[in-house]
Amino acid sequence: MAKAKVTPPEMREYPVIPVLKPDAMKSDGPFIAKPMHQEPLNFPGELVDNWEEKAVEKLGDLVGRYRSLRVYLDSCVRCGACTDKCHYMIGTSDPKNMPVARQDLLRQVYKNYYTPLGKFFDKMGWEWGTKLIGAKKMDRSVLDDWYNYYHQCSQCRRCSVFCPYGIDTADISMAARDIMDHIGHGQKYCNEIIAKVYKIGNNLGLPEPALADTLEGLEEDLEDETGIAVQVPLDKKGVDILLVTPSADFFAEPHVDGLMGYAKVFHEAGVSWTISSHASEAANFGMFIGSYENMRRISLRIREAALDLGVKRIVFGECGHAWRVAYSFLNTLAGPFDFLDPKYPVPQHICEFTYNLIKEDKLTFDKSRNDDMVLTFHDSCNVARATRMGDFPGGQFVIPREVIKAACNNYYDMDEDTIHDLTYCCGGGGGLLTDDLMELRVKGALPRMEALKAVTEEHGVTHLAAICAICKSQFTKVLPYYNFQMDQIVSVHQLVSSAIILDGQVTDDDD
Partner 1 sequence: MGFLTGFFALFFYAAVIIFVAGVGFKISQYARTPAPLKVPTMPAPLTRKGVAFRLFTEVVFFKSLFRANKWIWILGWMFHFALLLVLLRHLRYFVDLNSPLWSWVILIQPFGKYAAFAMLAGLVGLLVRRFTVERIRYISIPSDYLMLILLLFIGITGSLMTFVAHTDIVQLKNFIGGIMGFSFDAHMPSDFILMLHLFSVFMLMIIFPFSKLLHAPGIFFSPSRNQVDNSREKRHLAPWAAKLEEAE
Q: Which of residues 419-448 bind partner 1 (CB under 8 A)?
A: 421
276-305 residues near partner 1, rule: CB under 8 A: 292-293, 296
408 touches partner 1 by CB under 8 A: no
133 touches partner 1 by CB under 8 A: yes
To partner 1, the closest distance from the beta carbon of 215 in angstroms equals 28
> How many residues of this chain bind partner 1 (CB under 8 A)?
71
Q: What's phi and psi for 244, nearest 5 deg?
A: -115, 120
Stretch that binds partner 1, among 66-74, 365-373, 425-433, 477-485 (CB under 8 A): 66-74
150-179 residues near partner 1, rule: CB under 8 A: 157, 160-168, 171
217-276 residues near partner 1, rule: CB under 8 A: none
For partner 1, the binding residue among 3, 15, 47, 75 (CB under 8 A) is 75
70 touches partner 1 by CB under 8 A: yes
DSSP code for 431: T
Stretch that binds partner 1, among 138-146, 245-253, 301-309, 391-399 (CB under 8 A): 391-399
To partner 1, the closest distance from the beta carbon of 507 in angstroms equals 38
Sign of CA dihedral 4, 93, 189, 204: positive
Nearer to partner 1, 164 or 460 (CB): 164
Kindly write down the DSSP assignment for every residue of 169-234, as one continuous string.
HHHHHHHHHHHHHHTT--BHHHHHHHHHHHHTSSTT---HHHHHHHHHHHHHHHHHHHSS-----B
24 touches partner 1 by CB under 8 A: no
Contacts of 106 (CB under 8 A, 6+ apart): 59, 73, 146, 150, 172, 175, 176
Facing residues of 365 across strands? 500
Stretch that binds partner 1, among 82-90, 191-199, 235-243, 356-364 (CB under 8 A): 82-90
Output b/e per residue, 28-45; b: 16+ Cβ within 10 A.
ebbbbbeeebbebbebbe
Nearer to partner 1, 369 or 385 (CB): 385
> From residue 64, how far is each of 57, 69, 329, 374 by CA, in Å?
11, 9, 20, 50
347 touches partner 1 by CB under 8 A: yes
The span from the CA of 60 to the CA of 30, in Å, is 26
The span from the CA of 25 to the CA of 27, in Å, is 6
16 touches partner 1 by CB under 8 A: no
Nearer to partner 1, 337 or 481 (CB): 337
**Residue 70: exposed, middle, or buried by beta-carbon count in 10 A (0-12, 13-18, 19+)?**
middle
To partner 1, the closest distance from the beta carbon of 333 in angstroms equals 8
To partner 1, the closest distance from the beta carbon of 112 in angstroms equals 13
DSSP code for 310: T
To partner 1, the closest distance from the beta carbon of 124 in angstroms equals 15
Nearer to partner 1, 64 or 227 (CB): 64
Cβ(65)–Cβ(291) under 8 Å? no
For partner 1, the binding residue among 15, 35, 134, 310 (CB under 8 A) is 134
For partner 1, the binding residue among 91, 95, 184, 246 (CB under 8 A) is 95
Nearer to partner 1, 341 or 372 (CB): 341
The span from the CA of 276 to the CA of 234, in Å, is 6
For partner 1, the binding residue among 255, 301, 369, 385 (CB under 8 A) is 385
Q: Which of 210, 277, 287, 198 is nearest to 245 (CA)?
A: 277
